[in-house]
Amino acid sequence: MIGQPSRLSVAPTIISFSTDGTKQPGPSGIQVGNAGDGSITFSTSLVKGSSWIKLGNSPSVVTADSPATIPVTAAIGGLAPGDYRDVVHIDSTAGSADVPVTLLVSGGPTLDLSPAGSLFTVREGQGVSNGTRSFEVLTTGSTTIDWTASLLGGSGWLTLNTPSGTVTPDVPSNVSYTVDPSKLATGDYYARIHIDALNTTNAPLDFLVVTTVAAATTPAVPDPSPSGLLFVVSPGALVPPAQTIQVNTSSAAQLTFLAAANTFTGGNWLAVAPGTGLTSSGAPGKVSATVNGAGLAPGIYQGGISFTLQGNPTGVRTVNVVLIVTAGSQSPTLISRVSLNGSIGQTQRSGLAPAAGGCTPSKLVALQTGLVSNFSTPAGWPTPLAIQLADDCGGPVGNASVVATFSNGDAPISLQLSDTKNAVYSATWNPRGAASQVTVSARATAPNLQAATAQIIGTISPNRVPILFKHGTIHNLNPQAGAPLAPGTIVQIYGSGLAPGVLQTGLPLPTNVSGTTVIIGGVEAPLYYVSDGQLNAQLPLELSAARQYQILISANGALTTPDSVNLEPVTPGVAALVDGTIIAQHIDGSYVTTAAPSHPGEVLTIYLAGMGLTDVTVKTGEQSPSDPLAHPTVQPTVTVNGENAEIGFAGLTPQSVGLYQINFTVPADAPSGNLKLVVSQAGVESNVSTVVVQPAPAAPAK
């Protein structure tokens, strides 16, 4: 058999840290692997050499079966509030890759929602037995934050159970809500739970709730909760307490379910009772899962409890089960917690210290708790991912890096620690395309512990809905994923299913084109261009710099899962060709080219976006005035070949929307060649471009 050539793979594609400036962000990491045969040798470096990024030690050789993780941490000491960015460059014997790393020092507390949204799949008129769920509100920093919640949409089918609450950095706050689909006809329904809080730098935030109602003739499937169970036993306590699984479904009538325990390693240590029962929307079934560690050597054992409904044997859903048999005697404490889908589960857990009897942790243990095995989810809608981490002594591990990868080609996702007590790492996945089988792999690494990987298999069903790509909102002229943007900047927004067709808009710019709107910080953004995979919009000038805002897209009433953008006062970008050659005009309006170069002492005009607010107030989407001209409040500088150029005018281009221009003079002593040109404002540099300069032709002899 012919082998596959070595191929470098890295995950995730971007790392983002966030802090209020007082609390150190948690660790992250870059997974380096080989997608082919043989081995790959690699090295790492920082493109800018930033001192705030710390790269830890990792193996320098990887194979398909032995990936490596480069530990990445952000050192915030001495950093002022603002956005910081560098790139980790990975060079290898099988290619190279760049992973941007961003750090937001907000200068104040921020909120986060975990997960970012939820999906209910029901049958018309059949109700749902897991209709009450919750999500967590988390915060950074050291202060207590009071928050309020309200509904945007959902009339008649969504009820908010928790209208307000308080969150601290160490204790998340739960927001409970209930979906009642009993009166909903077949179709898809969207609503948002709006979370607001004073004295935060990124509120308000919206939590997306999607309910899809299928025909009553659609076969019912089981929906067990929780999705994962962790048991910890030691030689002195081989039979821990049972844990309960609730068997949900969407059926007004009672249906018979079947439950079966399966073990993949270690023999028959897992049992479930009863093996059959009844379930319905109004009266979900319940079973007890038990383990017996007698005869098992210390180690990690995998199993599952599968559920089917009578009459639909193909609709199997399997709860993931992990058993840890420790090397020493201990008495694990039983912790109750709310799982991601809102039902109560039990989790076995011990303390962080080595157990009595000499158990010293050496391995990570990873359990999928966000999705069951054999899951089925439609493309495009919020799908919670969650991994619970422990060590092989049963203690929670809260200093790990967790990255999820997907066999269908979706971008890898970093999971963040959302439950410090139980060491649960979570994220929200929006599957991009249908797949009859997709494997979700979550690999976890932590200092001084052997890495662990948890895998589950499921399906993604076809679904035509709008999807906003993570970090998909970028500067139109200086595109960098995850980089901050200035109010008023022209941006490109990437996704799929964003608009029904391609349309270039005209002036005045509309905020709704063919049913598509872009909402940033609660403000509808003017649109220059729409298509299925890309929108061009102007960031609202009403938004404040030094803040983070949510962005979401509505396409004919269907909503995307929100993403976020960071705003700074200025983020200049110059218009240039793909090869970096600047788009510049001579004084007569013709373009500077190799055939028509610029000359020392000549006045040129260049065009930009992202230069921020101006001394003349211009509203979002409005044409720039001709009289008076609008100059940026943060004055720019232009350097050509490292030498300052004299600026005659800098400001908004008259009668345009969001477009700036600078008229400058090429230095009289500029040498010939393709010279480096950089625009900067308050130390923030634009993308680097080049301008072709040649001596002016000699005057004809008289």
Q: Please tell me the distance from the alpha carbon of residue 608 to that of residue 611, in angstroms, as a whole number.
A: 7
Q: Of 105, 140, 162, which one is at a domain's C-terminal end? A: 105
Main-chain phi, psi angles of 623, to 5 degrees: -70, 145
Query: pLDDT-derived band of residue 203, with 50, 70 and 90 as boundaries?
Result: very high
Q: Do the domain assignments include residue 661?
A: yes
Q: Please tell me the distance from the alpha carbon of residue 683 to that of residue 634, in angstroms, as a whole number.
A: 10
Pairing of strands 68-74, 28-34: antiparallel
β strands within 93-128, DSSP E? 95-105, 111-114, 117-123
Query: Which amino acid type is present at position 98?
Result: D
Looking at the structure, do residues 208 and 254 belong to the same domain, yes or no?
no
Q: Please tell me the distance from the alpha carbon of residue 477 to that of residue 577, in angstroms, as a whole number.
A: 10
pLDDT at 442: 96
Looking at the structure, do residues 547 and 586 belong to the same domain, yes or no?
no
Q: Do the domain assignments include residue 653?
A: yes
Looking at the structure, do residues 411 and 475 belong to the same domain, yes or no?
no
Q: Of 191, 214, 237, which one is at a domain's C-terminal end? A: 214
Q: Give how many domains the chain has, as a whole number.
A: 5
Q: Do the domain assignments include residue 451?
A: yes
Sign of the dihedral through C-alpha 517, 518, 522, 523: negative
Domain region containing 209: 111-214
Q: How much is the CA Rg of the chain, to the nearest whole Å?
A: 28
What separation, in Å, do the N-terminal and C-terminal C-alpha atoms of the chain show? 79
Nearest to 245 by CA among 213, 273, 217: 273
Looking at the structure, do residues 519 and 610 belong to the same domain, yes or no?
no
Q: Which residues pair with 187 in a beta bridge?
A: 213
Residue 49 corresponds to which tokens in the numbers above? 């050499």
Q: Do the domain assignments include residue 1?
A: no
Pairing of strands 285-291, 312-325: unpaired
H or E element in which residue 114 lies = strand 111-114
Looking at the structure, do residues 143 and 88 belong to the same domain, yes or no?
no
Q: Please tell me the distance from the alpha carbon of residue 606 to that of residue 572, in angstroms, as a whole number.
A: 12
Looking at the structure, do residues 405 and 419 belong to the same domain, yes or no?
yes
pLDDT at 702: 59
Looking at the structure, do residues 33 and 117 belong to the same domain, yes or no?
no
Nearest to 453 by CA among 383, 500, 389, 527: 389
Q: What is the pLDDT of residues 50-94, one digit of tens each?
A: 999 999 999 999 998 899 999 999 999 889 999 999 999 999 999
DSSP structural state of residue 110: -
Looking at the structure, do residues 617 and 686 belong to the same domain, yes or no?
yes
The CATH number linked to 323 is 2.60.40.10
Query: pLDDT-derived band of residue 357, with 50, 70 and 90 as boundaries?
Result: low
Q: Please tell me the distance from the alpha carbon of residue 278 to that of residue 285, in angstroms, as a whole number.
A: 6
Q: What is the pLDDT of residues 289-336, one digit of tens each?
A: 999 999 899 999 999 999 999 988 889 999 999 999 998 764 444 333
Query: pLDDT-derived band of residue 700, with 50, 70 and 90 as boundaries?
Result: low
Residue 328 corresponds to which tokens in the numbers above? 């020493």
Sign of the dihedral through C-alpha 610, 616, 617, 619: negative
Query: pLDDT-derived band of residue 21, with 50, 70 and 90 as boundaries?
Result: confident
Looking at the structure, do residues 524 and 390 belong to the same domain, yes or no?
no
pLDDT at 341: 40
In the predicted structure, residue 128 carries a pLDDT above the cut 80: yes
User: What's the half-sphere exposure (Cβ side, CA atoms, 13 Å) at 619?
Assistant: 5
Looking at the structure, do residues 99 and 134 belong to the same domain, yes or no?
no
pLDDT at 222: 96
In the predicted structure, residue 143 carries a pLDDT above the cut 90: no
Q: What is the pLDDT of residues 554-571, one digit of tens each?
A: 999 999 999 999 999 999
In the predicted structure, residue 221 carries a pLDDT above the cut 80: yes
Q: Do the domain assignments include residue 554?
A: yes
pLDDT at 350: 32
Average pLDDT value for residue range 219-236:
93
**Which residues, 6 or more positions from 590, have their beta carbon under 8 angstroms from its beta carbon?**
596
Q: Do the domain assignments include residue 424?
A: yes
- Verify cis geometry, omega within 30 degrees of 0, for the bond prior to 100: no
In the predicted structure, residue 348 carries a pLDDT above the cut 50: no
Looking at the structure, do residues 557 and 537 belong to the same domain, yes or no?
yes
Lowest mean pLDDT, pick from 165-174, 232-241, 688-697: 232-241
**Which residues, 6 or more positions from 472, have their beta carbon under 8 angstroms from its beta carbon?**
481, 493, 494, 495, 563
pLDDT at 345: 33
Looking at the structure, do residues 304 and 436 belong to the same domain, yes or no?
yes
Q: Do the domain assignments include residue 698?
A: no
pLDDT at 329: 62
Q: Do the domain assignments include residue 699?
A: no
Q: Of 410, 427, 461, which one is at a domain's C-terminal end? A: 461
Query: pLDDT-derived band of residue 22, with 50, 70 and 90 as boundaries?
Result: confident
